[in-house]
Structure 1
Amino acid sequence: MSTQSTFHKALQNAKKYINDEFYTSLENIQAELEKYKDVFKDKIIYCNCDDAYKSNFFSYFIQNFNKLKIKKLIATSLSNNALYGLFESYSFKIEIVKVKSDIDCDNKALMIESLLKCKENTKEIIKSDYDYRAGDFRSKECVQLLKQSDIIISNPPFSLFKEYFDLLINFKKDFLIIGNMNAFCYKNIIPHFIKNEVFISFLKNGKFLQPNGKEVSLNFCAWYCNIKINRVFKDLKTTALYYKNPSFYPFYNNFKDCININSVNNIPLDYEGLMGVPINFIKDYNPSQFEILGIINESFSKDFNIKKNNKNNKNPVILLNGEEKLLYKRIIIKNKRPLKCDNMIINKKNI
């Protein structure tokens, strides 16, 4: 590959990061990581999208390093100067294996200065390679660090979430990461939800800081996690019943075995068949109550014998009552333990 084409590729990759850098609040990190406090003992934690001088993930683990009995903490961040020349860009990796009990975490720069006074802790330059700029989670050096780590915890760029997720899965890493709630619909991600290998939980609040110090609200964000813990799930409770009002739940004309539901509150707990429910159902998903079978989109159309529509849309248009209607994506679910209602009438006509 020529230097010119290599640099062009680096620039294209760099563009994906524009307006894609958000710093997670310490409040959100503390609230979520408290659930996993028993899994960090003797583990190497890698925050591979985190500038130690800015990251609250790094601060949290330094504050709790000894309490959690962490073996090592690693942080790497993306270089800021990729636009000035591929081979001139560099970033830092910081590896921490020892934290004194009296360290001051209020000022991140002073905290790191104090950490580096301990000879066991190191700060080293990492450089760009022929494909990615320094500190990019896909770069050779960062992938090598990932390989030696046990748990990956970070807030990766939303625009690269598919690639980031695949990287963690390919190397069989435990992870706790932040992403767009809708990302679980991606064809490379939803199979892991169907198998109950990955779970979602929602941030306490959706407030993030941008590099310029401006606070923004991103209420569509969620934690994605495959770390095995004893999770507590609550049953979804609604008052909706199919047998009382079957006409309220039309079947899709191009997917006749599935009824359409426009609101989680309208999920009928007595229905035994397939249901197409809104994406935000994932907030209430209890794997002991429901089974996720797929998404109504092109990825699963063949599996469920969903007929194609007449419109040229990226995702299939759903046919309701003989008319084409563009809906938001629907998760296909089935109730594992539907209610048994007296005098229940199941009407499977195509309404």
Structure 2
Amino acid sequence: MIDKAKNKNLQEAKTNKKDEFYTQLSDIERELKYYKKHFKDKVVYCNCDDPRVSNFFHYFSYNFEKLGLKKLVATCYKNQNMDLFSQNDAEQAIYLEYTGDKNGNNIPDPEEIGIKKLKGDGDFRSKECIELLKQADIVVTNPPFSLFREYVSQLIEYDKKFVIVGHQNAIKYKEIFPLIRDNKLWLGYGFKGGAGHFINEHYEDYATATDRKEGMIRVSGVHWFTNLEINKRHEDLILYKKYTPEEYPKFENFDAINVDVTKDIPMDYDGLIGVPITFMDKYNPDQFEIIGVGIANLGLEMGIEPYKPEHKKYRKEVQKRGAVDGDLYMMVDGVVTVPYSRIIIRNKKVQK
């Protein structure tokens, strides 16, 4: 019941676009320490947070000299009030520019931060914000979850480097997966414990985890997405298991074996392998090749076949779990089994 209530609230966030999940400074610091070399002499743009209360703006302004930044720019949807949840109903939006410490105290004082008015509402898709985007080298922020597809598409269109927060389910989006497959986007180091705590007043936190925090909502499966090179991306996953047909059954409608846990990928199998989307956190393009994703529509592009005629009678039951033709499925002890979404990969470094 708790899970259903939580899922309902998160779904409402997508529907109502009340997805203002404000990121903690500690999470920002924990992730961005791995990217410091990328920021020297760069213009950083934070375009989805109120710059006066944004922890992204706080991090970059207080570390401006340490990172060697050239300029910091921040915009947000119209919001003139200091209240973090001001409902964005002010008449005019602003943007802030910071070019570094001027009085020698190594603190970004208000008089050192240029506050400028925007003609429009500050939406990241507006002409004004796109002009600011064009001037930026790297974009760092937590964009609205409901607009993640559109947000990433804009970054790709304007050929921008970025480090942004999103949910791991975005890996399966038809607009996002091809970017991952083609090595134009990958996962960063991630949130502690695979979950993020965000400031958000719209939803009650139903999480039962021991690390829940008062006044914040705990969201599992959030991650950092980037196209900046990081060491993690080139670390080999250590494999130790060997392939056997009994332990690794093949899918009924696609020539690939199923692996339920990333660490159990067989080291000696040279065919196609279906792995959970959590594999992406360990993905190394030097070690593995991504072929496709085994879900409806996207899966059909790889040649995943629909249910076999003799298995049609099982469809109603598995459809209750959201499975449709085009999803991968197996027969286990005479019963149709539909695993969660699978990324289809091939091991480049097979060990015999």
Judge same fold: TM > 0.5, yes or no.
Answer: yes
- Give per-residue Cα distances to partners, 1:37-86, cap 9 Å, x unaligned: 122122111000011122111011111111222111111112259xx9x9
Q: Write out aligned runs for 1:169-248 (5 A).
A: 169-201=156-188, 202-204=190-192, 206-212=195-201, 214-229=215-230, 231=232, 233-242=234-243, 245-248=244-247
Q: Which residue of 1 aligns with 2:138?
A: 151
Q: 1:69 to 1:265 in 2, by over 3 A?
A: closer
The one-letter code sitting in structure 2 at the alignment partner of 1:124 is: K
Cα pair 2:142 2:165 within 8 Å, conserved: yes
Aligned with residue 344 of structure 2, among 309, 327, 332: 332
Q: Which residue of 2 aligns with 1:70?
A: 69
Cα pair 1:317 1:325 within 8 Å, conserved: no
TM-score (normalised: structure 2): 0.79
- Give per-residue Cα distances to partners, 1:284-318, cap 9 Å, x unaligned: 21222111111012344344321123547556343
Residue 263 of structure 1: CA displacement?
A: 1.8
Identity %: 40
Distance 1:272 1:251 in 2: 14
Distance 2:162 2:29 in 1: 16
Aligned residues: 306
Q: Secondary structure at the match of 1:251?
A: coil
The one-letter code sitting in structure 2 at the alignment partner of 1:288 is: D
2:110 aligned with 1:123, yes or no?
Answer: no
Structure 1: which 5+ runs fail to align?
A: 1-12, 105-110, 129-133, 341-351
Q: 1:16 to 1:43 in 2, by over 3 A?
A: farther
Residue 87 of structure 1: CA displacement?
A: 10
Cα pair 1:317 1:324 within 8 Å, conserved: no
Cα pair 2:14 2:145 within 8 Å, conserved: no
- Give per-residue Cα distances to partners, 1:144-187, cap 9 Å, x unaligned: 21111111100001111111010100110011101001212212
Larger Rg belongs to: 1
- Give per-residue Cα distances to partners, 1:223-260, cap 9 Å, x unaligned: 11112355553322343211xx31221111111x1111
Q: Secondary structure at the match of 1:95?
A: strand
Q: Which residue of 2 aligns with 1:17?
A: 17
Q: Which residue of 2 aligns with 1:107?
A: none
Cα pair 1:250 1:259 within 8 Å, conserved: yes
Distance 1:76 1:178 in 2: 17
Aligned with residue 263 of structure 2, among 247, 265, 273: 265
TM-score (normalised: structure 1): 0.79
Q: 1:16 to 1:48 in 2, by over 3 A?
A: farther
Cα pair 1:150 1:173 within 8 Å, conserved: yes
Distance 1:97 1:315 in 2: 55
Cα pair 1:50 1:154 within 8 Å, conserved: yes
Distance 1:42 1:176 in 2: 17
Distance 1:91 1:277 in 2: 45
Aligned with residue 135 of structure 1, among 96, 101, 122: 122
